[in-house]
Amino acid sequence: MSHSYAQTHGLPFPQLPVVMIHPESNARAASLLGLVDTGADATLVPSAQLRAIGAEEIYRASLRSHWGESRPVVVYLVDLQVAGHNLPGIEVIADEYSDAILLGRNVLNRLILLLDGPVQETDVLTARRRRRQ
């Protein structure tokens, strides 16, 4: 299933539907669109969604932006469902300032993605194409 790029960020931005799930209670947050950010190491999620499912803090860390500044963050362990694909045991960073999910490489590296910029659609594939020899 193809997912249209977001048109709300100046330039078109790939996005995928994401549901956050508590790993023990199976409490689910409302589905949100997650922005696909291949340059981000980690996944950021709204703190409100973490509170909604009763997620528990697992540790504190420091996050460095692409500008070089650092700030303290809180890391949680959740299960994610990304475009219908279940990803258990994902570490996510609570984001107090945004209501958007930012999907970083800790999630994206678990998926086979097709980013079709000219068509402005994203697909999560279930298998790779065979390489021609």
Residue 73 lies in a domain: yes
DSSP 111: S
Q: Is residue 28 part of a domain?
A: yes
| pLDDT tens, residue by residue, 109-131 | 999 999 999 999 999 998 877 77
> Tens of pLDDT along 56-102?
999 999 999 888 899 999 999 999 999 999 999 999 999 999 989 99
Q: What is the pLDDT of residue 67?
A: 87
Q: Which two tokens stand for residue 108?
A: 């994206």
Q: Which long-range contacts (CB under 8 A, 24 or more apart) does 32-35 make?
A: 32/99, 32/100, 32/101, 33/6, 33/100, 33/101, 34/82, 34/100, 34/101, 34/102, 34/103, 35/6, 35/9, 35/100, 35/101, 35/102, 35/103
Domain with 25 in it: 2-125
Q: Tell me if 130 is assigned to some domain.
A: no
**Domains in the chain: how many in total?**
1
Residue 51 belongs to a domain with what CATH number?
2.40.70.10
- The answer to whether residue 114 sits within a structural domain is yes
pLDDT class of 133 with cuts at 50, 70, 90: low
Give the span between the Cα atoms of 78 and 44, in whole angstroms: 12
57: in domain: yes
Q: Which tokens in the block code for residue 21?
A: 């799930």
Say yes or no to pLDDT of 28 above 70: yes
- pTM to 2 decimal places: 0.91
Inside any domain, residue 15: yes
Report yes or no on 133 lying in a domain: no
Q: Is the pLDDT of residue 43 over 90?
A: yes
pLDDT at res. 65: 84
